[in-house]
Amino acid sequence: MASSATPKYNSNSLESSSSKRALKDGTNWEQNEEIPRLPGETRVTDKEVIYMCPFNGPVKGRVYITNYRLYLRSVENDPVVVLNVPLGVISRIEKMGGASSRGENSYGLDITCKDMRNLRFALKQEGHSRRDIFEVLTKYAFPQSHNLLFFAFVNEEKFSENGWMVYNPMSEYRRQGLPNERWRVTFINEHYGLCDTYPSLLVVPYHATDDDLKKVASFRSRNRIPVLSWIHPETQAVIMRCSQPLVGMSGKRNKDDERYLDIIREANGQISKLTIYDARPNVNAVANKATGGGYEGEDAYPNAELFFLDIHNIHVMRESLKKLKDIVYPNVEESHWLSSLESTHWLEHIKLVLTGAIQVADKVSSGRSSVLVHCSDGWDRTAQLTSLAMLMLDSYYRTIEGFEVLVQKEWISFGHKFASRIGHGDKNHADADRSPIFLQFIDCVWQMSKQFPTAFEFNEQFLITILDHLYSCRFGTFLYNSESLREKEKVTEKTLSLWSLINSDKSKYTNPFYTKELNRALYPVASMRHLELWVSYYIRWNPRIRQQQPNPVEQRYMELLALRDDYMRRLEELQITNNSKISNSSASAASPSQMMSQVQTHF
Amino acid sequence: FSLQEILIKEPIEKEVSLRLLPGELLLCEANTVYKYMPEDGSNRGTYGKLVCTNFKISFLDDDSTSDDNEPQFKNKIVGENDITLQCVDQIYGVFDEKKKLLTGQLRKYPEILIIYCKDLRVCHFCLRYTKEEEVKRIVSGIVHHSQTPKLLKRLFLFSYASAAPNNTDGRNQTVMFDTLEDWRDELERTKGNVKYKVVTINEDYRVSEKLPLYFVVPICVSEESILKYEGRGIPIWCWSCHNGAALLKMSAFPKEQDDSTSQMQKAFLDGIYKTISKPPYELLKTDDLSSSLPSLQEIQTAYTKFKQLFWIDNGTDFWATDVKWFSLLESTNWLEIIRRVLKKAIEVVECLERQNTNVLLIEESATDMCCVISSLVQVMMDSYSRTKSGFQSLIQKEWVVGGHSFLDRCNHLHRSDKEEAPVFLLLLNCVWQLVQQYPPAFEFTETYLTVLSDSLYVPTFSTFFFNSQHQKDNSMSDESFRTQSGPFRFLTVWDWSVQFDPKAQAFLNNPLYAEKPKPDKSQRKTARFKHQRQLSLPLTQTKSSTKRGFFREETDHLIKNILGKRIGKLINSSDEPPNSFREFYDSWHSKPVDYHGLLLPRIEGPEIKVWAQRYLRWIPEAQLHGGGTIATAAKILDLMEEVQSLQAKLDEEHSQAISGDVHSVPLLRNSSRLSSLFPFALLQRQSLKPALPTSTWKDLEDEEDLVKRDDEFVDLS
């Protein structure tokens, strides 16, 4: 039987209980063994199914559905096969086969997930056994389409840390040394009156009045005016973010916008030009004129230099990920792996995003010039570029808390449309708004952490956990499209933050090799020679592609750390004893040779 | 690039002394040569003297004499600016901005000399400011001495051996396999001595000049039969596995036109197979490697394409090839060859380990792919081969003494390009895959493998400069090579102190390696039992044998023809279930790894990687400042030094010694500042400017419609 061939392996934070063994007698385990349940999680239904595992073949089991997850436990396999899938990761549920379908296991459900896997369950044909489960699943997987609450709103978990306290915009700007004599904090957007997709608190040039800001807003797509993201502590050059100017076919100009950009340019006291990075390919920027958008023309902005970064739109990225899934799930392309990988363009997109971010960072750092970054609306590619550039320039963002702040600030507060891009609880799986922009950003971060294994306080597990809960809907962190909507839904009051989970158990997400280094710019090499597919994320469901867990190098290092601490403790003890009874001969304590044998090292 | 861009700085002709090795002679030299690194915009470099000796091409500049930037990792024989003559792969000249390959006779002399090295360096020498006659002398000298056919005795090896004081004791733990004892010990170590014996019949190379002085055959094989076809058709023992199954190799008969001869050979083989297929011998599986693995020609073609990808002329070149990097890599086929070879090795392991059958590898000479597969099998199955001395002994056994034609395969003498094939490099590339997949399992590091691969081109050691043991012995006894002090001895590459001082040698040792715990006798039994249990798997029933097994049908067919029905059946009965390879592989990978037990490489596409350290180490654009695997490795080394000094302090406290300062190991590394190119190419690129791709994008032809769309269509006007 194929089922016994490949025992389940997992490196996934969501499947923590899969190694659990079934009870020996196996008779009444249903009653005795609880399925994992979070506080606030309620059981809805369960059913006998056959899980059509693409790696192990059909697995007979029972599936439990709660308001949070789908949980399957096999009944015959040893070790037990377990599936633990938050309903939030489901993007699509389809019926396969009909009542009259012939053939073994041809009748059932096909579930497409957002996290690079598909699940297929076969059910008994008699008695419409499929209908109930289909309806229950659809209802709880797509609560938004059924007027139900996200699980985050009924989750009653308790954590020792409160993740909502991690990000406070005022203290983050203060950390950057803001406000100062050239930059001020404005509350003009307190009630989201200026821009409903921006946060309430913004940092703008000291010499621009709130009135100026309103005028500029009229010339920027969706009123997303240029505001400060980050300031270089030495050069005082800044990273600004915004949306495209509303130039249109007629090539409209706006004096206020032009003056505003000049104020930004002058703010760091350099006479150099202001650098504008338009994340889009040149042609797309031009094409945007037809719908009223566009880019800063040379005539209107003589003191600015414009570069296009050639990063493609959300649709191209979505297609690219789809192609990637095709070559890694369920089976990894065997014979032409490299060219298949290349044909997905996934890493090429990663390369372009990183290249863009490096340019932004380098301009601010060694070019000592302020930069303005935008794409069309300034909530997708722009967020990727500013946050990655900030990660390269500011070592604070490479810590666990700093990274949480970065995500909270550049992505969540500045209106990356998480709800639209992920489609939380939405049954419209084919919506054109879906796109893996945030995943792409996390992938870029992973590439950087891979290239610089000692530069980040967090480990791979941290990044995977973030991605898992990007979909799970267990936390309020990534729900909704903007700060104003989150405020309306009272997200911080009614839900928990993902950072609560992480910060309450930090050691799990800590990279032991982390070496704190202040103010060192970290430039990854955006070359295909160094970029690699993030196998332990994209191919983690495949038991054949196995990551060694725990990482042996890491393990060895941890052992040595423990040994060092032990020696230091002993040394301290010994020194005390030796000092106290200096004339006495030593009696106790382990012999040194015994200790020597513990380090089997050679140089 | 234009020569005008070269920064013309006043050449300072300081007399820089050339360091010569014993027996090394200066052949020609040229002054005012500008060595530079072509970078975008500027061609940074230095003036100096270019010399060619009978050992190396060397560039001497004033910078190289300043000792304040002494690298931590220095080769004592080959300096940073030295290229041994054997390390030169191709030489190009630039004439009026055009690159031309230089071989043999030259009519015109180039303005720039570009030397592409076998260790993947690319060196640019501008000769524009050099006197014409010096250009002529140096260019033709370099081309002549590095690119034209040579006599064996003209190798630097001989002048070095006769001039060098023989003061290295040459003693290390490497088993050289040049004595009867060595073979007996190996038989005993692997418990192969019950069924196999060492034969001395070749002591005066009576059997064959390709075979070593001593080798091991099944006890039942007679001396007569060994002599009959010069050792062809004789199963030669490589290694015995813990369950008694043995890995054997055999030199095949060449294709015979003559019917009666081939009939006789068939009958001979039939007899051999009969004797070694019956008890006490295990069932026998044969594998004709010449048909089941890529040919040497394919391997050579693949590697030739592959190495081109890493000879980067300049930054523009680097980024231009970056866009299509993966398909370029794939088109070389080199990684696929590595994958196939690893897969074959796993197949052999499966037969030995799980099916308990003997495996006989067959190849025309049994000295190329046989060496690769048998070495890999031993590295995977025998944890001794994963120690430094074990690995070195293995290379001695299978390759050096085993008769791999290093001289021809590396084309050291430029005698015949047809014979060239990077077979040994292929092994190192495969072993590297294992090293990077299972870092704690090896006593040596990837740096060890890299310097070992570099040593292929350093002719101070005899190890890689003979085709066979016979050739070496013959050269040694040659009267003309006798020195006044008597017959000389060659150095072996395994004496690493010749190339590296102890500090540098530390980089060859893996700090993650945990030595095999030495269990006492009672423990050993249980450990052994556990080992076997872990490896033995339930044999699944064969559903059908329609699918082919993993040894080629042709081979099975051949054997059946040769052996006739009785033996054929015997072979048949061991037919493995069709998916047993997959099952064996999956099952092993589903269990926790025992770093001292069996080790199987993962061979899925994403798992086979480019040996970045060897291939990217000289490319400034690929450098990561403060990054790469060296960053973590250096942290581990630092911590280990700290632990050791703590240990020393503890001991001191225990012994109540009253001494103020315990000698502490100076922490030399600053891990965050090391470059990923470390320990190679230390001073290549110091600017902290990020490397920016100059060409980034290729068209998404197939997605035109998507590309043109906007993120969200909203009319803003």
My answer on whether B301 and B399 are in the same domain is: yes
Is B219 part of any domain?
yes
**Both tokens of residue A347?**
């890493």
Provide the chain B residues 90-119 that lie in CB contact (below 8 A) with chain A.
Answer: none
My answer on whether B206 and B121 are in the same domain is: no
My answer on whether B213 and B285 are in the same domain is: yes
pTM, to two decimals: 0.90
Is B155 part of any domain?
no
| Cα A68 versus chain centre, distance | 20
Fold of A43-141: PH-domain like (2.30.29)
| Beta-carbon separation of A578 and B329 below 8 A | no
Q: Is A558 on the interface with B (CB under 8 A)?
A: no
Chain A residues whose beta carbon lies within 8 Å of the beta carbon of residue B318 = 527
A291 closest CB neighbour out of B506, B624, B717: B717
- pLDDT score of B535 more than 60: no
Distance from CA of A580 to the nearest CA of B (A): 13
Chain B residues whose beta carbon lies within 8 Å of the beta carbon of residue A517 = 672
Other beta carbons within 10 Å of B69: 9
Q: Is B271 on the interface with A (CB under 8 A)?
A: no
CB B423 within 8 A of CB B404: yes
Angle between the N-to-C axes of helices A255-266 and A210-217, in degrees from 0 to 180, rounded to the nearest 10? 120
Domain boundary among B452, B480, B508: B508
| Beta-carbon separation of B700 and A345 below 8 A | yes
Q: How many whole angstroms separate alpha carbon B567 and alpha carbon B273?
A: 8
CA angle B661, B663, B667 (to 5 degrees): 120
Which candidate in A53, A195, A242, A375 is catalytic? A375
My answer on whether B215 and B121 are in the same domain is: no
A561 closest CB neighbour out of B623, B639, B708: B639
- pLDDT score of A589 more than 80: no
Domain boundary among B508, B539, B567: B508
Q: Is B607 on the interface with A (CB under 8 A)?
A: yes
A601 closest CB neighbour out of B502, B511, B650: B511
Q: What pLDDT score was predicted for residue A268? A: 82
pLDDT tens track for B555-598: 444 444 444 333 332 333 344 455 788 889 988 988 888 999 99
pLDDT tens track for A479-520: 999 999 999 999 999 999 999 999 999 999 999 999 988 778
Is B462 part of any domain?
yes
Cα dihedral B611/B603/A541/A537 (nearest 10):
10
Is B120 part of any domain?
yes
A195 is catalytic: no
Q: What pLDDT score was predicted for residue B487? A: 61
Count CA within 13 A, CB hemisphere, residue A452: 27
Is B574 part of any domain?
no
My answer on whether B141 and B187 are in the same domain is: no
My answer on whether B410 and B270 are in the same domain is: yes
My answer on whether B288 and B379 are in the same domain is: yes
CB A405 within 8 A of CB A166: yes
Q: What pLDDT score was predicted for residue A537? A: 96
Provide the chain B residues 479-508 that lie in CB contact (below 8 A) with chain A.
Answer: 502, 506
pLDDT tens track for A413-437: 999 999 999 999 999 999 999 999 9
Binding-site members of A for substrate are: 313-314, 375-381
> DSSP letter string over A551-587?
-HHHHHHHHHHHHHHHHHHHHHHHHHHHHHTSSSPP-
My answer on whether B325 and B453 are in the same domain is: yes
My answer on whether B494 and B397 are in the same domain is: yes
Better pLDDT: B526 or A166: A166
B8-23 CB burial, b ≥16 within 10 A, e <16: eeebeeeebeeeebeb
Helix, strand or coil, per DSSP, at residue A420 = helix
Count: domains in chain B: 2
| Beta-carbon separation of B711 and A313 below 8 A | yes
Distance from CA of B363 to the nearest CA of A (A): 26
Is B631 part of any domain?
no
My answer on whether B144 and B189 are in the same domain is: no
**Structural domain for B295, as ranges:** 180-508
Instruction: With cut-offs at 50, 70 and 90, classify the pLDDT of residue B503.
Output: confident
Domain boundary among B487, B508, B529: B508
Q: How many whole angstroms separate alpha carbon A476 and alpha carbon A486?
A: 9
Q: What pLDDT score was predicted for residue A367? A: 87
| Beta-carbon separation of A545 and B622 below 8 A | no
A571 closest CB neighbour out of B650, B671, B672: B650
My answer on whether B135 and B184 are in the same domain is: no
**Both tokens of residue A167?**
């990000």
Q: How many whole angstroms separate alpha carbon B55 and alpha carbon B33?
A: 20
Instruction: With cut-offs at 50, 70 and 90, classify the pLDDT of residue B641.
Output: confident
Percent of chain B with pLDDT over 90: 58
A452 closest CB neighbour out of B440, B627, B655: B627
pLDDT tens track for A256-294: 999 999 999 999 877 789 999 999 999 999 999 999 999
Distance from CA of A359 to the nearest CA of B (A): 8
Residue at token pair 């190339």? B499
| Cα A147 versus chain centre, distance | 27
> Which has the closest alpha carbon to B133: B10, B26, B32?
B32
pLDDT tens track for A167-214: 999 999 999 999 999 999 999 999 999 999 999 999 999 999 999 999
Helix, strand or coil, per DSSP, at residue A427 = coil
| Beta-carbon separation of B590 and A9 below 8 A | yes
Domain assignments of chain A as residue spans, ordered by start: 43-141, 169-533
Q: What is the 3-state secondary structure (H, E, C) of A304-316?
A: EEEEECCCCCHHH
Is B575 part of any domain?
no
Work out how many CB contacts closer than 8 A connect A with B: 272
Q: Is A284 on the interface with B (CB under 8 A)?
A: yes
Is B569 part of any domain?
no
My answer on whether B335 and B240 are in the same domain is: yes
